[in-house]
């Protein structure tokens, strides 16, 4: 059996699993499952098409039949990869399937906050009219933190607006930067000079609260912050203080430390545009990501193993612990 986490409907691509003899089980809650729910539901499940639910030591301990977690997306901060490896569970990712969608959403948030689209919309709806001058995107300075697939896709979009592009990455791609007019700079320099700072770094212990009170203080008062990466990159209390005090002009947020961000004071600010962790989701990326997950599951069921470039722990396959006899094992 395979557990499908990506919605309340079985999309057409899921029929690929059914044709191979899988029984596809929908996420019964219709929302992100808790650790306790995962422990209860996963026994008897061979594979999951995973969202952002937690895969912990307790979950893997309970999921005796689980052989592969096919993660829809590129982030795996909710997956204990070491625990998965100990329990012989392969972790397969959908790298390269949603970065263009995230870049589209990132640029949409940039345009919305800089162009004050939401206040203008509400003004007209309430019977108001008139102009509110705002900065433009053309030839603005953008700072990209994290120059991986998504950061590079954002940079390509920024080139079309003749933006000055700054980037910081722990392991920068100097060739891409040179070919695309990207200036690689230290993080503090990026924060001081950018009109818009956009985050595309992974969440890890090293990047926890990467944007904290001290780094927010480096940014221009007229600057904007966009986060379509992970909520844990930002100290939300410090961000709220900067936005509420006018120390920072605005923010576009697709991700939050707690999701959904019920009760967050950020929800009450007029200079914030919000979206529900949906930056990587459009019709094209959904199909590509899900098919990548299904490719990995079917390869596992056929004892071939997913392609190594998509595996976080290929040693599971090399050890033989991930081997199975069929899709209902």
pLDDT at 326: 38
* Short-list 259, 219, 258, CA closest to 239: 219
Within 197-258, where are the H helices?
213-218, 236-244
How many angstroms separate the CA atoms of 129 and 179, rounded?
44
pLDDT at 329: 24
pLDDT digits 0-9 by tens, 128-145: 998 888 999 999 999 999
pLDDT at 324: 43
Distance of CA 293 to the CA centre of its chain: 16
Which positions are catalytic? 230, 259, 277
pLDDT digits 0-9 by tens, 154-191: 999 999 999 999 999 999 999 999 999 999 999 999 99
How many angstroms separate the CA atoms of 125 and 251, rounded?
23
- Which residue segments constitute the domains of the chain, with CATH numbers given? 2-97+282-319 (3.40.50.720), 99-274 (3.40.50.720)
Using left for φ > 0, alpha for ψ between -120 and 50, and beta otherwise, residue 118 falls in alpha
CB 33 within 8 A of CB 58: no
SS3 (DSSP) at 226:
strand
DSSP 136: -
How many angstroms separate the CA atoms of 149 and 153, rounded?
6
pLDDT at 3: 64
Residue numbers of the chain with a pLDDT score lower than 70: 1-10, 320-329
Angle at 145 between CA 114 and CA 165, to 5 degrees: 60
pTM of the model: 0.85
């Amino acid at each position: 059996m395979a557990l499908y986490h990506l919605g309340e409907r079985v999309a057409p691509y899921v029929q690929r699993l059914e044709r191979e003899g899988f029984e596809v089980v929908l996420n019964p809650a219709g929302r992100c499952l808790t650790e306790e729910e995962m422990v209860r539901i996963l026994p008897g499940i061979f594979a999951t098409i995973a969202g952002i639910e937690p895969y912990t030591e307790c979950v893997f301990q309970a999921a005796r039949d689980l052989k592969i977690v096919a993660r829809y997306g590129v982030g795996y901060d909710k997956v204990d990869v070491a625990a998965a490896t100990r329990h012989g569970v392969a972790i397969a990712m959908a790298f390269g399937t949603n970065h263009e969608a995230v870049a589209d959403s990132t640029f949409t948030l940039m345009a919305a906050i800089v162009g004050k689209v939401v206040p203008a919309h509400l003004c007209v709806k309430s019977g108001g009219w008139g102009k509110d001058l705002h900065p433009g995107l053309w030839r603005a300075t953008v700072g990209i933190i994290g120059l991986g697939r998504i950061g590079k896709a954002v940079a390509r979009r920024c080139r079309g607006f003749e933006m000055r592009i700054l980037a910081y990455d722990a392991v920068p791609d100097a060739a891409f930067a040179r070919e695309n007019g990207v200036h690689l700079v230290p993080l503090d320099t990026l924060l001081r000079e950018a009109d818009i700072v956009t985050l595309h770094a992974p969440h890890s212990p090293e990047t926890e609260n990467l944007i904290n009170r001290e780094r927010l203080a480096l940014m221009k008062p007229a600057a904007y912050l966009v986060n379509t990466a992970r909520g844990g990159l930002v100290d939300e209390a410090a961000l709220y203080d900067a936005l509420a005090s006018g120390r920072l002009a605005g923010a576009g947020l697709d991700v939050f430390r707690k999701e959904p961000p019920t009760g967050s004071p950020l929800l009450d600010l007029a200079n914030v545009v919000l979206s529900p962790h949906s930056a990587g989701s459009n019709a094209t990326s959904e199909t590509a990501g899900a098919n990548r997950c299904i490719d990995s599951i079917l390869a596992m069921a056929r004892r071939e193993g997913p392609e190594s470039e998509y595996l976080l722990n290929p040693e599971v396959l090399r050890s033989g612990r991930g081997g199975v006899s069929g899709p209902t094992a």
